[in-house]
Structure 1
Amino acid sequence: MTSTSSTTSTSTTSTVHPEQTQALNVFPDFFEYLPIGVQVYGLEGTLLAFNRAYQETWGITREAWIGRYNAYTDEQSIKNGVPEVFDRVAQGETITAPPLSYDSRRAEVGVVEGRHAWVQPVFFPIRDRSGTVQAIGVVTRDVTAEIEQREALEKARFEIAAQREVLEATQQELEQARTLEAARREIAAQRETIMALSTPVVQMWEKILVMPLVGVIDSHRALTIMETLLEAISRHHAENVILDITGVPMVDTQVANYLLSTVRACQLLGCEVALVGISAEIAQTIVHLGVDLDRIVTRANLQAGISWAFMRQNLVVVRRDAS
């Protein structure tokens, strides 16, 4: 084990000095009932004696251990560096070692008994009257509860640190999610602004609206154009709409169908639509595609479209000279 115990027994291979034996005989109960584990080893490492506190620490019996256990050959003691400590103590040193872990159930004594424990050992030489080292004494304090408490505390600290890392990671993810959501909202707002700017409806006169279109028209934008225009017709009680496609670079079958659908929807609300700004290239494309615009009012440009709307409203533009 790491160091260990005592009673008043002796060994055939190593004996306690007569003066020590006499002292033990005078105070037998003193050694036996010390509240801390005490052991006596021969210089060759054989366990010679241990007291009750040591016995209770390891849950062992004297019959199984005294004279049978050797610190120089026990695998756990070798791993704990006990033989090297014994060599130094045999030279007269007293050594306080750090806590050692030992499992008496794994000791090489041929029996299965005992328990695992942590002990804080102090190794010291036992001398005769002449000062010669005759044996090795070891005092061991059971620190199992302290070590387990320390390990539990370290485990708790580790778990807390791990939980803190998880929490911080979660907070970062939440912050990133909030940032992403804010960016999405901003993009959505910008998209709405762009769509509003790309589908403006201007009230030219009472019951007359103008929607100038610029850029490519796709399915999403076509739906926005229709929704915006129909909402404006209802809001302004419009009867005439001028749809200016001067700024539309290309009209294919799909775009033409979008425009026709918008015109029909406006007509269902009782509003007539004039399509203006058809360029020569777009006119050729419409004819080539066979798109039927017979039921659609068309005008060359915005000015002609405004004139058409004014006529439908019985309005006349009169030039006045400045007086």
Structure 2
Amino acid sequence: MTAHVRLNDHIGALDTPEGLPAVLAVLGETCAAISRTVAGGALVGALGASGQVNVQDEEQKKLDVITNDMLREALAACAPVFGVASEELDTVEPTGRTGDHGYLVLFDPLDGSSNIDINAPVGTIFSVLPASSGQIDEAAFLQPGRNQVAAGYALYGAQSMLVLTTGQGVAAFTLDVDGQWLRTGEDLAIPADTREFAINMSNQRHWAEPVRRYIEGCLEGKDGPRGKDFNMRWVAAMVADVHRILMRGGVFLYPWDAREPDRAGKLRLMYEGNPMALLIEQAGGKATTDGKQPILDVRPTELHQRIAVALGSAKEIDAFAEA
């Protein structure tokens, strides 16, 4: 049997800035603990609504609150972490520490939480930014995605997996029965071509015309302008749809739509768009707002800023840009 490399050993072999391995170790340990909590489900009283609403005006599931608190507490105790921000929190939470070699961690504690009560895949997404030696406030977090020193996610599905980049390629880890993340994939690479797309087709009537043209071309298959048949996949959890793309290619689209014309998109730039974009680019794909503008180049203006997302296999994102 092949001897798999443990997460902390993998991180230790990378060329990373001071303090970052400790932050990633805490994220790995906490995601492993979240995996156990998610697996417990109704047995540990973790299913159902919490009765609370988050800053996004969305009803929180019990597991949204539980996992958010697990990450907040673990990261607050990690010396190199100077502040955290969460999709579930109104604003940032400084740890009170400042100085050199510090980090800011942003996270979506349970992406796809509407799936949890039906036992479909959910996950945790995280982004790590460098912290300045100055005041840790919202402005300190408003850095473009290119500044990320690490990003990743944990997927809680048939197997629990963790996918990570520090800007040196993308590696995948599987959680073993002893609670250890063991490396099961190195240098993940997204095929440039694909025959799969992921989008919520129920919103079709609200899309902008270029998005409609692109999807219609896919649906026409080999008899249409694309000259090939496509399959549609949709898990309703970004973490699961992006994981599929990293494993075998494809594109994921969550575009602007006319129901909220003043909002750029549905997904959150800081908690979802930026970390996933870094992973996709590191694996050879493209991650854009509209097929053209890279997500990682967007300069954030708000902590909970929304964004349109089109990411995945490079040639297919180019085709989307030309639609």
- TM-score of the superposed pair, with normalisation by structure 2: 0.21
Name the one with the larger strand percent: 2
Q: Which has the larger radius of gyration?
A: 1
The higher-RCO structure (CA 8 Å, 6+ apart) is: 2
More helix by share: 1
Q: TM-score, normalised by structure 1?
A: 0.21
